[in-house]
Structure 1
Amino acid sequence: MTRSSVQGEDTRQGAPDAPERAEADGKTESEEPDGGAEAGRRRPRRGRRVLRWTAVTLAVLIAGTAGAGYLYYEHLNDNIKKDALNLGDNKVAAPTPNAAGQTPLNILVIGSDARDSEANQQLGGARETFGSTPLADVQMLVHLSADRSNMSVVSMPRDTLVKIPKCTDPDDGKVYPASEGRVMTNRSLGHGGPGCTVATWQELTGIHIDHFVMVDFAGVVSMADAVGGVPVCVDANIHSRDREGHGSGLKLEKGTHPVKGEQALQWLRTRYGFEDGSDLARAKAQHMYLNSMVRTLRENATLSSPNKLRRLAEEATRALTVDPGLDTVKKLYDLSDELRKVKPERITMTTMPNRYVGARVEPTEDAEQLFRLVREDIALDGKDAKKKAADEEAADVSDDPAAADDEIAVQVRNGTRTDRLGAARGRANTVTGLLVEQGFAKAVADPSVLPSEDRTVVRYPSADLEGDAQRVAKSLGIPASSVQRSTDVSGVTLTVGADWREGTTYEAPASDDRTPESAEALNGADESACMHVNPAFTWS
């Protein structure tokens, strides 16, 4: 199994006298205990931890870097490092295909704060951190919609408190027990590898993850250099260095300039000098860089040169660790071909809404709203409203005529259990009785209690039962959008969800499909963005 080693954690404080871990001065911050702030410690500023270097990885995938597959194919395949996809026991089911048979694609991109090579140590880290336990300090979920029209990106702060599930290392069989309480999410990487980070995300979000891609410090620099430069903007001269030597070392003149290689890494890691010096400002800079990278690569500036393409392919394959589903150039190319179908204006980047718990953070109710939108494949840019209405209207009428009510076999299941409440007793029997009263004589209740369903849903396995499923839904007032085709059922199956725990009349919950403001969404086509420089870090 491939491993990357990292130093302990840096804080979320934005105070100018707090050392910034692993920036150009090579100094590190002291590691804080989990769970809360020490006595007398200042409360950290409200910041957002977004991927420091994953921007390059994502952009490379979008641009189709692996399109150089015809160049020494086997050599490039040998460059790619592999690891298991999911080391946990909770295997979230893949989403149900849409009417066209398409399914969404979810990729977890992980930034390893690696100290396992001389190159990584030189780019950021103290000598004593070499060979330490790996940390997934940056994590970003990339969601590609089923119809490939839009992309949503959700990043999770590295100090988010979560429960890490039991993970088993496939190489040596070592079992890492589930965390007794909540710990920082970045520790998941040290519980057997990136597959445990995947398992942790699935436990928290309920989102099925198809693939992961992991990259380290050296990978960012090499790929950014191979790309040839990405334009970034500052509204004043900046030098990210204070009197104590803290800062990334980034030095730029006012205006727009291309950055590459180590300077690109400095941009992605700069906190001292941008706005108020918080992680929120650093996150904004990272988002701007990613957007600019995507636009640059879509214009084919890099791909027009065979030599640059070859170099980029070489550096990308060396920098990545992936799951077996992406372990060849061909597989990476196929993925990139899917990703680059999305135009920048349909890319939305967000940060998981969170609140402080001592010195750490936890997901808020808005975070669950964001996760639900991803699970239900709802675009975060809000541009799917008309499409959704059209889909529901089209779903009202099926080409498959329904059988007579008394000939439709229906199985009713109880899926009312939630994270906080047990299953409502007798719901399958109650709803079965309602169907029988309406003439569905072949309706039967399944006595077992199933995993939770947020909303009541009617599923059917094949096109010849679509009309029957829609007829069942209509008889109970269940919207057509809740009728889904699925190979997980053998016949028309109605699962009573957490939205119908009581009563005999179904009332569809009001649908709020807006992206929470606390997610701080940023559109991928925004070319006007320019980072504000803190006057204390400018020069003339």
Structure 2
Amino acid sequence: MSLAPQTSGPSGGSGRHGGGRRRGGQKTERRRRRRRVLRWSATVLAVVILGTAGAGYLYYRHLNDSIRKGERSAGDSKARKTAPNAAGQTPLNILLIGSDSRNSAEDLKLGGSKESVGAPPLADVQMLIHLSADRKSAAMVSVPRDTRVHIPECKDPKTGKVYPATDDIINTTLARGGAGCTLSTWENLTGVYIDHWMTIDFSGVVRMADAIGGVDVCVKQNVWDHSTPMVHGGSGLKLTAGTHQVKGEQALQWLRTRHAWGSDLMRARAQHMYLNSMMRKLRSQNVFTDTGHLMDLAEAAVKSLSVSKEIGTVKKLYDLGMELKSVPSNRITSVTMPNVQDPLNKEHVVPDKPNADKMWQLLRDDVAFDKNGKKSAAKDDGKSKDEPAKKPSTDAARLGVLVQNATQTSTDAAVPHRAGSIADLLAQQGYTRATSDTSETLSEDQTVVQYPSAELEGDAQAVAKSLGIPMSSVKKSTGVSGVTVVVGSDWRTGNTYPKQAPPKAGDLPSNSDAINGGDTSQCMDVYGPYRW
């Protein structure tokens, strides 16, 4: 019988060698289990990622499919895009339209009478949002809804119905071919090329205000916008003096209030205050990086907005929001078009032409409405000083030049025989084949010299030089067959083209009611009968 210590078998014992083998086997088994857990975790994670991506894609599709879209323009317009700056950037112009439609139960519940159901909507709020080419400044420009303007011929893209050109108040444009007709009317009024439009109705304002979480507004006195013995109607807005956060239906009441502010023009001021406050809040919330909040806004937006088809995707709307977010509050300026009482109807207004034209030129030239930006080099007349003029293709005496009278405005008739006078002036400069076009009277804010093809550019430049017209006003156009001088309302009298100083940043007309987006002290004054 051996005296050596016994080793245990697989089933037990405490021998050193056997114990070592068992612990090694346990480690191996634990490693196998860990590998199985890791494989299972990786599989689950892959499923979650793919599932989330799939759900995200489906949600993205849902949002995209929910966006209502329409044609950008429904009428004739001669507005041209602003030329790119030195970095190749161009301004971005978006027309925001607030519809008074009561064609849904949701809209009707928020205001209006049953008799208004089915009636064509009116564009009661119209505001141009201008983002500068460098995206460092922005402007919000309102035109009062009762402004009488020239409305071009418009075709409704949904029905094909053609509405003839007319003179009427601007809020009727929405019923004459949709938002595209409103856009075309704005382009003809301002000469500013508008890239996109957005429309929102009553219920949409409520949804957006709820998604934002409320916006701060201020009144100097207690306000109650209600019916009085003298004036029927009212938004129902009722607030005590001071600052309040409004959302939902109360936000809509603020935006619709007119009588308590004293006029439709003061309503535009209240709307500007609201939008400035909303932009400040969105920036402070950092909503663009808050996924949950951003989704709420996205849902509200697609349910509330209709847009021109060029921006009819979630990505494009998101990119637009990011561009707006990048502009500092103190570089955002809101204004109302300078206006005077319409001589044909004291209930309406018309553009205060000299001051309105000054504002439109700032937009066309992409000059900031504020003075808070860094000074940049002054702009020249549109041509580099190192770039020589093109050589004319023919002698002045052999060049046919057509002169058109475009001096008509929304308030003034065309100057009689103006085209003939300028044609005679050209003849004195050696352009003996210059003739006047008597077939129609046009309406243009600025005098331009147009040419159809590159070989006539030098001839057009020579014609402009002979009349003292700046080179920036020489434009290529497919709408002309030869060199054409279009005499605009900026040259209604005299034989010398009036020299105009280039606009300066912040040089706004005194009657534009400008408000800076960084000014948090703004507070609405309440008209006496609506204080309580």
TM-score, with length taken from structure 1: 0.70
Alpha-carbon offset, residue 320 of structure 1:
0.8
Counterpart residue number, 1:52: none
Q: What secondary structure, in the 3-state scheme, does the structure 2 residue paired with 1:362 have? A: strand
Alpha-carbon offset, residue 124 of structure 1:
0.7
Q: Deviations over 1:108-153 (max 9, x none)?
A: 2111101111111111122232222221122122222333333222
Q: What secondary structure, in the 3-state scheme, does the structure 2 residue paired with 1:335 have? A: helix
Q: What secondary structure, in the 3-state scheme, does the structure 2 residue paired with 1:98 have? A: coil
Counterpart residue number, 2:518: 525
Counterpart residue number, 1:340: 325
* Greater helix share, structure number: 2
Specify which of 97, 100, 104 is matched with residue 83 of structure 2.
97
Q: Deviations over 1:345-380 (max 9, x none)?
A: 222222222314232222232333333333333333
Matches within 5 A, 1:426-441: 427=422
Counterpart residue number, 2:420: 425
For 2:212, give the aligned amino acid: V
Counterpart residue number, 1:221: 206
* Alpha-carbon separation, structure 2, partners of 1:324 and 1:530: 37
1:368 and 2:353 correspond? no
* Alpha-carbon separation, structure 1, partners of 2:137 and 2:476: 23
Q: Which moved more, 1:420-429 or 1:522-531?
A: 420-429
Say what the alpha-carbon RMSD is for the aligned residues.
Answer: 4.3
Q: What secondary structure, in the 3-state scheme, does the structure 2 residue paired with 1:139 have? A: strand
Counterpart residue number, 2:49: none
1:121 and 2:108 correspond? yes
CA gap 1:96/1:494 in 2 versus in 1, 3 angstroms: farther
* Alpha-carbon separation, structure 2, partners of 1:328 and 1:156: 28
1:175 and 2:162 correspond? yes
CA gap 1:121/1:416 in 2 versus in 1, 3 angstroms: closer
* Alpha-carbon separation, structure 1, partners of 2:252 and 2:277: 14
Counterpart residue number, 1:25: none
Alpha-carbon offset, residue 224 of structure 1:
0.5
Q: Which moved more, 1:209-218 or 1:95-104?
A: 95-104
Alpha-carbon offset, residue 338 of structure 1:
3.4
Counterpart residue number, 2:178: 193
Alpha-carbon offset, residue 489 of structure 1:
11
Q: Deviations over 1:416-467 (max 9, x none)?
A: 6422135533857965985x8xxxxxx997868697765566789999x99x
* Alpha-carbon separation, structure 2, partners of 1:483 and 1:232: 44
CA gap 1:481/1:71 in 2 versus in 1, 3 angstroms: farther
Alpha-carbon offset, residue 258 of structure 1:
1.9
- Structure 2 gap segments, 5+ residues each: 1-55, 409-413
* Alpha-carbon separation, structure 2, partners of 1:334 and 1:324: 15
Specify which of 342, 350, 358 is matched with residue 346 of structure 2.
358
Matches within 5 A, 1:387-426: 387=376, 390-392=378-380, 397-398=385-386, 400=387, 414=403, 417-419=406-408, 420-421=414-415, 422-425=417-420
For 1:380, give the aligned amino acid: F
Alpha-carbon offset, residue 319 of structure 1:
0.7
The answer to whether the 8 Å contact 2:383/2:472 transfers is no
CA gap 1:470/1:96 in 2 versus in 1, 3 angstroms: farther
Q: Deviations over 1:267-310 (max 9, x none)?
A: 22234555xx4334433322211110111112234345322211
* Alpha-carbon separation, structure 2, partners of 1:270 and 1:193: 25
CA gap 1:536/1:309 in 2 versus in 1, 3 angstroms: same
Counterpart residue number, 1:249: 236
* Alpha-carbon separation, structure 1, partners of 2:152 and 2:293: 42
Larger relative contact order (Cα-Cα within 8 Å, sequence gap ≥ 6): 1
* Alpha-carbon separation, structure 2, partners of 1:283 and 1:267: 11
Alpha-carbon offset, residue 525 of structure 1:
1.5
* Alpha-carbon separation, structure 1, partners of 2:287 and 2:529: 36
Q: Deviations over 1:214-256 (max 9, x none)?
A: 0000000001000011112233444444677954333434432
Q: How many residues align?
A: 455
Matches within 5 A, 1:233-382: 233-241=218-226, 247-271=234-258, 273-274=260-261, 277-352=262-337, 353-356=339-342, 357-365=345-353, 366-381=355-370
* Alpha-carbon separation, structure 1, partners of 2:318 and 2:395: 45
1:111 and 2:98 correspond? yes
For 1:334, give the aligned amino acid: D
For 1:379, give the aligned amino acid: A
* Alpha-carbon separation, structure 1, partners of 2:208 and 2:526: 27
Q: What secondary structure, in the 3-state scheme, does the structure 1 residue paired with 2:367 have? A: coil
CA gap 1:304/1:383 in 2 versus in 1, 3 angstroms: closer
* Alpha-carbon separation, structure 1, partners of 2:216 and 2:493: 57
Q: What secondary structure, in the 3-state scheme, does the structure 1 residue paired with 2:380 have? A: helix
CA gap 1:470/1:347 in 2 versus in 1, 3 angstroms: farther
* Alpha-carbon separation, structure 1, partners of 2:194 and 2:305: 18
Alpha-carbon offset, residue 324 of structure 1:
1.5
For 1:107, give the aligned amino acid: I
For 1:316, give the aligned amino acid: A
CA gap 1:105/1:128 in 2 versus in 1, 3 angstroms: same
* Alpha-carbon separation, structure 2, partners of 1:427 and 1:252: 60
Alpha-carbon offset, residue 538 of structure 1:
5.4
For 2:518, give the aligned amino acid: A
* Alpha-carbon separation, structure 1, partners of 2:58 and 2:253: 31
Q: What secondary structure, in the 3-state scheme, does the structure 2 residue paired with 1:348 have? A: strand
Counterpart residue number, 1:482: 472
* Alpha-carbon separation, structure 2, partners of 1:76 and 1:376: 36
* Alpha-carbon separation, structure 1, partners of 2:341 and 2:495: 38
CA gap 1:417/1:260 in 2 versus in 1, 3 angstroms: closer
The answer to whether the 8 Å contact 1:350/1:522 transfers is yes
The answer to whether the 8 Å contact 2:450/2:460 transfers is no
Counterpart residue number, 1:130: 117
* Alpha-carbon separation, structure 1, partners of 2:531 and 2:146: 30
Q: Deviations over 1:486-521 (max 9, x none)?
A: 68699x989575567898876624556642222212
CA gap 1:473/1:381 in 2 versus in 1, 3 angstroms: farther
The answer to whether the 8 Å contact 1:415/1:453 transfers is no
CA gap 1:330/1:302 in 2 versus in 1, 3 angstroms: closer
Counterpart residue number, 2:29: none
Q: What secondary structure, in the 3-state scheme, does the structure 2 residue paired with 1:359 have? A: strand
* Alpha-carbon separation, structure 1, partners of 2:153 and 2:453: 36
CA gap 1:93/1:395 in 2 versus in 1, 3 angstroms: closer
CA gap 1:480/1:300 in 2 versus in 1, 3 angstroms: farther
* Alpha-carbon separation, structure 1, partners of 2:374 and 2:466: 25
The answer to whether the 8 Å contact 2:225/2:237 transfers is yes
